[in-house]
């Protein structure tokens, strides 16, 4: 059987509560996984592993890390025991080195919620090897994009590449009380600008993120937007898998790159 090549994905993972209150995005993630061939492995860059140098998790059995406070007790009982894959991790390190991207092995890093929370909805059996790579905050958007380009050939081996962050992420602006709030113009304008540029394959305009309208208001810090650069590197053909907002201005979009 000639299997479909897996895409790169950008997933807005939202609040940790997504694990127990999936809203619209949980079912969207489930449908997405059902529409893809089952991956041989998953490589994921999360907004919640910021680092100076680029790092790759080489652990065979990473722990599930509940890297948040003040949430319901049931959230802390969740485990996502998917294995790692040290051999694939070494291949990733080799590919990055050949591309002139210095990277380091990390055998102790647990999995943060930017990894296990979306995967709970996509692959609840936790039977697919998952390798997390860090988000190197010393790198430019173009360099993070190059990481995605460097690992893109692994898509032909049925390996799924994911950047896990959020299309908008200003926690101070959210309607935390749970009441429905209108999406503010500054959030929708930012999101629509990014989608328009990606649709027209103007990736340079997105990599030039400092000049996107309302970027500071949507991303007071850039770590939740930066994983999109990694996903963009996976392929030039952009499509929208899901689009919604939660708590007013928290964008929950999922994008696909083929």
Q: Are 73 and 194 in contact (CB under 8 A)?
A: no
Residues in the chain: 258
Under DSSP, the state recorded for 243 is -
Q: pLDDT tens digit string along 155-206?
A: 999 999 999 999 999 877 776 666 657 899 999 999 999 999 999 999 999 9
Tell me the whole-structure pTM to 2 decimals: 0.96
What is residue 51's predicted lDDT score, i.e. its pLDDT? 97
Residue 144 CA to residue 164 CA, distance in Å, equals: 13
- For the chain, give the mean pLDDT: 94
Under DSSP, the state recorded for 6 is P
- For the chain, give every domain's residue range: 8-257
Q: Are 60 and 84 in contact (CB under 8 A)?
A: yes
Residue 24 confidence class, pLDDT cut points 50, 70, 90: confident
What is residue 170's predicted lDDT score, i.e. its pLDDT? 85
Classify domain 8-257 by CATH number: 3.40.830.10
Q: pLDDT tens digit string along 113-136?
A: 999 999 999 999 999 999 999 999
Under DSSP, the state recorded for 138 is T
Model confidence at 87: pLDDT above 50: yes
């Amino acid at each position: 059987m000639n299997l479909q090549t897996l895409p790169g994905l950008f997933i807005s993972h939202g609040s940790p509560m997504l694990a127990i209150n999936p809203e619209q995005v949980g079912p969207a993630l489930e449908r997405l996984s059902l529409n893809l061939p089952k991956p041989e492995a998953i490589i994921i860059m999360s907004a919640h592993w910021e680092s100076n140098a680029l790092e790759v998790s080489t652990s065979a059995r990473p722990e599930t890390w509940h890297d948040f406070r003040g949430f319901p007790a049931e959230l802390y009982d969740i485990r996502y025991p998917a294995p790692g894959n040290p051999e694939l991790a070494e291949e990733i390190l080799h590919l990055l080195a050949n591309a002139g991207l210095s990277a380091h092995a990390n055998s102790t890093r647990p999995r943060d919620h930017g990894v296990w929370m979306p995967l709970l909805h996509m692959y609840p059996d936790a039977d697919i090897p998952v390798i997390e790579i860090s988000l190197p905050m010393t790198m430019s958007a173009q360099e993070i994009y190059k990481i995605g380009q460097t690992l893109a050939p692994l898509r032909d081996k049925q390996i799924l590449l994911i950047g896990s962050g959020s299309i908008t992420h200003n926690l101070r602006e959210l309607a935390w009380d749970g009441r429905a709030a209108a999406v503010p113009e500054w959030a929708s304008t930012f999101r629509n600008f990014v989608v328009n540029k990606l649709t027209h394959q103007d990736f340079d305009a997105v990599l030039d993120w400092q000049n996107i309208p309302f970027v500071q208001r949507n991303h007071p810090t850039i770590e939740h937007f930066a994983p999109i650069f990694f996903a963009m590197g996976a392929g030039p053909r952009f499509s929208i898998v899901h689009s919604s907002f939660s708590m007013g201005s928290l964008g929950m979009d999922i994008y696909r790159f083929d």
